[in-house]
Structure 1
């Protein structure tokens, strides 16, 4: 039996040191999950696992369950005596998470311990700047580095225009253009893969994540589907899955997301341009609505910033502020926001009063 190099699988010295706290247990990494069972990779191979009763009892919410990408401590490194038992989840170095769809406030961990988040968006009908801003905000907050991967370039006749649009919102982010119908259409993505690195492919349904991964792997490991009549891809992946790359490193494929409910987001990075403009506003608590000498509104007037980007920025701010609140609490926050905007009018009156006083 060949021994799997766990360091190639992303095992770092930090995880190794933490694992020493648990004697008589072995380290493994979650590769997939199906209901209450997991697939786990140890140095001896991939095996079926389940969590211990003690671990299940200690879990307080959905996000604390083992997730794809987690390094865990197990009772044995193979399943010669039945399913491997997971006893502990090691501290995550990065987490890409979202709010579970619907009315619940549960948090779903999409992938953990990732180094790079490939945000995939096709250049056909799926192209959406506002959605991309949302993905970037969550990706920056995850602790991983976001990279934008534009797929299906063969279906787009205005690639340069699309890239110009993206350059206005993807500050400090690499942007890759790919096509899976040509032999070298995915090489720009391949250079990000290396031993010990974990990359997760995130995006809407049918953007071509699985097809791209198959090209990177050099074989059809993941099922794929064609284009629908409305020029959108068909959803194929139904579960998260971690796959070893023969040339080094691992990739995580994820199901397409119809919506990305925000738990937390790093707006300071994804909207750094707005924050920089806001620092030049007349008032520190400027709401960018009606205050005089608002640098943000001036940028919109001058065509430097789009009104849609500012509105999306405010929308994401509201989502984070209201996350976890019930309807009554949300209503209270909305009333507070109304008074805050009234405060903006007070700032305006204060400005003109000072101006008239100095005449």
Structure 2
């Protein structure tokens, strides 16, 4: 699997890490199982003020953090039941969590595989902790090539940019670090310059993606001239910067032609690979974070599975998920596998690929 395959989620279904759970979904034996991946929004606090924030309806609002006592026990229970990966993300900025350092220590002790999605502003506080913990990958939302644009885009002081990039350079010596670049009206001309800059920091890839409207999660439409400028920069990055040490990745929605995405299935089995836990409870998937009411915070793995199943069953993708979804093909593949299971069940056991794609790539 190549670096560009990070977004090919349907291929990852067949990897060593994910195939056993994929088989459980196809066989219908998954609703009592914990998800292999926990998407964990430990905090709704954020120290940036981004106008484009897709979670602006919930950031810095009620129930700012998950109770540490409850979370500790839940993480122990989930690990014992088969959850193997924890993605620290938000909602808010995960590094603002009061117990962030303790959380990393606990995840390390429990031998979870860990990932971090962050704005990078607090990396300087936790560089050594991150380097010494089993992080498969870290992705930093930079969205700029210089301090001025970064300050405008993220609503922070000018000196934050250097603090972030200094920390990224230090961590990237030991961990797989990627940079996220969200396309906005005031930064789209800097995609190439950002890629060139972060490559010098030993960053492994830049992920370029379109902006989502926070109200309906649809892709924000842009002018045709801007689209052409974006394509030009992406091609320039491919031709001049990409090599064995650096790549650019982007969803197929980058061409802005997939404003809507028809879905013929009525249940989203892809949601079962990940459970989204936030200070407001459980959501069926990250796209619905803040769009539905949330739930109670589960206090046991059994309670979590029960709530997860209930929330997922409330969603009918054919009616409620008209937006572009990066994991749509997972559901399409599962439907195909279910038909194979029905008509040629003996073939299912031969479909798993005995390939290890690499810890940083095979996350669903």
TM-score, with structure 2 as normaliser: 0.29
Whichever of the two has the greater Rg, that structure is: 1
- Give 1 or 2: higher helix fraction: 2
- Give 1 or 2: higher strand fraction: 1
